[in-house]
Amino acid sequence: MKFIGMILLALLCVLLILLVIAVIRTLLLPNKVSAYKAPPEDERSLGYAKKLSEMIQCDTTSHDSVYDYQRFAKFHVLLKKLFPLVHEHLEKTDLDGNLLFYWQGTHHDRPIVLMSHQDVVPAEGGWIHEPFSGDIADGKVWGRGASDTKCSVFGFFQAVEELLQEGVTPNQDIYLSSSCTEEWAGDGCPKIVAELERRSVRPYLVCDEGGGIITDPIGGIHGNFAMVGVFEKGKADVRFTASSNGGHASAPKKGSPIARLAAFVNSMETDDPFKKKMAPEVRSMFEELALYASFPLKLVFSNLWLFGPVLAMAMPAISAQGAAMLKTTIAFTMQSGSDAYNVMPQEATLGANMRFIPHQGMNESLDLIRKRAEKYGLNTEVFHAVDVSKATDIHGEAFAYVTDRIKETFPELPVSPYVMTGATDARFYQDICDNIVRFAPVIYGPEQMAGMHGLNENIEYNCLSGCVDFYKNMIRKAE
């Protein structure tokens, strides 16, 4: 007993020494504040708001393979009206509504692709401003697509329009890419990529939406931060089916389809099979944000060598978004059973959406979920499975180029790498491009984040000038 006590005492001393080291390291770090705010509204930003308003008024809803080319044909007519020089000087290719514009540069070895999608998700429910009104009120442009993502489509078209007015010829070839099937992972962007492959174009850099200037990105971190997505999680839709002989509800048997599905869901909630692990990009994100945190969070974020396991356990209570960057997730979203209250179902189904993380990719994650489902007598069907995208090197030249353009455009705005827990069209470019970033140069506060795919979508239009300037700088500084 005395020997065990000595070991425990020694371990405690080591722990205290490590804690002291962590505290000293934290105290030596600077305390920073994110001071960046968009400039006040002015005539320039109001003019941009009016253009974006017209784009929102053009309904480009597209979902679940419901595709109406005429919606996008009307939108293309509007784009030609709003950006006449782009249409006069750039080579336009229309691939079933998916747009590719080519602006020839003086060099062709490092082409850049600026991209974002035309389509929007359906707008349902009661809105403060009608979803396709494009109303300009309270310093915001309102409507479906305002923040996701006609704002960035507007931004790079306007940037090229202004550079053409100035007589600029880019140093490198510039491509503007915009699909009309992003919201349902359709074949629009793959058609654009196939066209670039046909032309033997291998982009040096692709910049899509996904990240952005996020307000308060994680609980305890306050202010605006440029969160630059460097890879995105994989995804799949999965259906679990439980079968039985049915029967009358007055004499229920144990182990009914719905009971088995419920037990399966409960097991996933109480005994998660997916491992938490910090990818280097996630670790870098926390270390960047540490300088802007209060002391307790700063202590943890800046000393992940000691507190990494503790942070992984605590992250769900701090930030659901942050927690999703650490592991594969599964969200149960749909369920069906009997058509009558007094009939036991012969079959009940449960739908789920999975998002895969690099350390447990698509195959391993799906294998784990199948084995768990089999324990409850469930059949597993997988739809629309896509593995984790390749990561852009956060220490590489291309990432530094984007970071420099952000700092140039938005003084005092902190920049951090970021992991996309959602999905974008950018992943389709990974076979022809090694450097893909996901960053829309607009401000997404809590209201804008809630409005994407939800009610009352809007964008504060004072950030539109910075959006245009970022894309102009991306084009001007290409070497």
Least confident of 11-15, 166-170, 307-311: 11-15
d(CA 116, CA 399): 19
What's the Rg (C-alpha) of the chain? 25
Contact in structure between 105 and 172 (CB atoms under 8 Å): yes
Contact in structure between 274 and 360 (CB atoms under 8 Å): yes
Q: Tokens standing for 230?
A: 């460097």
How crowded is the C-beta side of 55, counted as CA atoms within 13 Å? 28
pLDDT digits (tens, 9 = 90+) for 276-304: 999 999 999 999 999 999 999 999 999 99
Q: Tokens standing for 332?
A: 């149960």
Structural domains for the chain: 43-232+390-476 (3.40.630.10), 235-386 (3.30.70.360)
Residue 206's pLDDT band (boundaries 50, 70, 90)?
Answer: very high
**Cα angle value 371/372/378 (rounded, 5°):** 90
Residue 5's pLDDT band (boundaries 50, 70, 90)?
Answer: low
d(CA 10, CA 15): 9
- Exposed, middle or buried: residue 74 (CB in 10 Å: 0-12, 13-18, 19+)? middle
d(CA 146, CA 49): 10
Residue 391's pLDDT band (boundaries 50, 70, 90)?
Answer: very high
Q: Which of 30, 22, 20 is nearest to 288 (CA)?
A: 30
Contact in structure between 388 and 275 (CB atoms under 8 Å): no
Partners of 354 in beta bridges: 236, 330
d(CA 311, CA 280): 15
pLDDT digits (tens, 9 = 90+) for 121-158: 999 999 999 999 999 999 999 999 999 999 999 999 99
Q: Which of 316, 285, 313, 317 is nearest to 301 (CA)?
A: 285
Q: Which of 340, 336, 378 is nearest to 250 (CA)?
A: 340
Specify the pTM.
0.92
Please state the separation of Cα 43 from the chain's center in Å.
Answer: 31
- The whole-number pLDDT of residue 189 equals 97
pLDDT digits (tens, 9 = 90+) for 335-381: 999 999 999 999 999 999 999 999 999 999 999 999 999 999 999 99
Q: At 346, give phi and psi (nearest 5°).
A: -75, -25
> Tokens 């697509």 identify what position?
145
- The whole-number pLDDT of residue 311 equals 87
pLDDT digits (tens, 9 = 90+) for 66-85: 778 899 999 999 999 999 99
Q: Tokens standing for 350?
A: 């449960």
DSSP 86: H
Strand, coil or helix: 448: helix
- The whole-number pLDDT of residue 197 equals 98
Please state, rounded to an integer, the average pLDDT across all residues of the chain: 94
Amino acid making up residue 175: Y
pLDDT tops 70 at residue 96: yes
d(CA 104, CA 316): 48
d(CA 176, CA 52): 17
- The whole-number pLDDT of residue 3 equals 63
- The whole-number pLDDT of residue 1 equals 63
- The whole-number pLDDT of residue 93 equals 98
| Average pLDDT, integer, range 256-268 | 96
d(CA 45, CA 261): 52
DSSP 160: H
